[in-house]
Each structure stands twice: as C-alpha cells, then as structure tokens.
C-alpha cells in the first residue's frame, strides 16, 4: 500500500526505530509515546484493521500476540503489568489504517481507558 505509513516503514522507505523483526512482523517505537514503553507490533502484511482480518490470518494474529508477549518480557514490563490493544475505527482513535497492536507499559495503566 503506497500511501500507508506502516508499509513504508516496513519497506524501509521511511525511517523508524525498529526493535524487533521477523518474516511476518515488525515492532517499532511509537513516534508519540504515551508511556515509558510504547511499541507498535505490526504485521508486514497490509490489513487495514482487525475488522478486515479473515480466518486466513489466524496464525499471523496469534503470532503477533506471542511476539508482543516476548517483547514485554524483554522490556521487563511483564511483572509490573502492561496493556496490549488495537484500535478499530476512527471512533476508537485509529489513525493509521494498517492493523497494529500498541504495547504500553512502564507506568500504572488506568481503567477504564479514555
Ligand atoms: P492508532 O491511532 O491508529 O491506534 O495508532 C497509530 C500510532 O502510530 C499512534 O500512536 C502514532 O503515534 C503512531 N505513528 C503515526 N505515524 C508514525 C510514524 O511515522 N512512525 C511511528 N514510529 N509511529 C507512528
Ligand atoms: Zn500498510
């Protein structure tokens, strides 16, 4: 997707701080962090949002969760607690329409979220 900022980052046409990469997934530092740890776990395949995922993506989505868990452990936020979330649609705050999970930690996480 040429106009997609995350596709551009994945193709290394736009710089970003990459913290993890494998064949299917890239994890980057959020450009506007909302917590001491704020990473974005992004599949390399362009899927606009969770609502666009199909059963074909079942393994990929499971992989994203396990990669997120491993990164949380590496960052040592698994003991203090962390939040993993995806926003679907503008009403929920989605601004980049390439599915991604936010991994937030390093400070107390309040509930309910805003
Ligand atoms: P959303 O609002 O779609 O749930 O999350 C998009 C996230 O992407 C936001 O937290 C925003 O700060 C981040 N973001 C937007 N553009 C860029 C960029 O060019 N590079 C990086 N690393 N993060 C970005
Ligand atoms: Zn994309």
Ordered by start, the domain boundaries in the chain are 5-105
Each residue of 51-92: pLDDT tens digit? 999 999 999 999 999 999 999 999 999 999 999 999 999 999
The answer to whether 78 and 100 are in contact (CB under 8 A) is no
Q: Tell which one of 13, 30, 98 to mutate to probe ligand 1, the residue whose CB is within 8 A of the most ligand atoms.
A: 30
The CA 26 to ligand 2 mean position distance, Å, reads 12
In CATH, what number does 5-105 get?
A: 3.30.428.10
- Residue in the block written with tokens 């969770």: 50
CA separation for the pair 112, 109 (Å, rounded): 9
Q: How far apart are CA 29 and CA 63, in angstroms?
A: 19
Q: Which ligand is nearest to the CA of 90?
A: 1
Note the pTM of the prediction, 2 decimals.
0.98
- What does the alpha-carbon distance between residue 15 and residue 18 come to, in Å, rounded to a whole number? 9
Does residue 100 carry a catalytic annotation? yes
Q: Which residues contact 110 (CB under 8 A, 6 or more apart)?
A: none
What is the tens place of the pLDDT at every residue in 36-45?
999 999 999 9
2 has pLDDT over 90 = no
């Amino acid at each position: 997707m040429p106009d997609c900022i995350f596709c551009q980052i994945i193709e290394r046409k736009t710089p970003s701080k990459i913290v993890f990469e494998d064949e299917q997934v890239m994890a980057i530092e959020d450009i506007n962090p909302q917590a001491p740890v704020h990473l974005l776990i992004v599949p390399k395949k362009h899927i606009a949002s969770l609502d666009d995922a199909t059963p074909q993506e079942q393994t990929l989505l499971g992989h994203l969760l396990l990669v997120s868990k491993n990164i949380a452990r590496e960052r040592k936020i698994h003991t203090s607690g962390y939040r993993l979330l995806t926003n679907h649609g503008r009403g929920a705050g989605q601004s980049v329409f390439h599915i991604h999970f936010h991994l937030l930690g390093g400070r107390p996480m309040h509930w309910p979220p805003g």
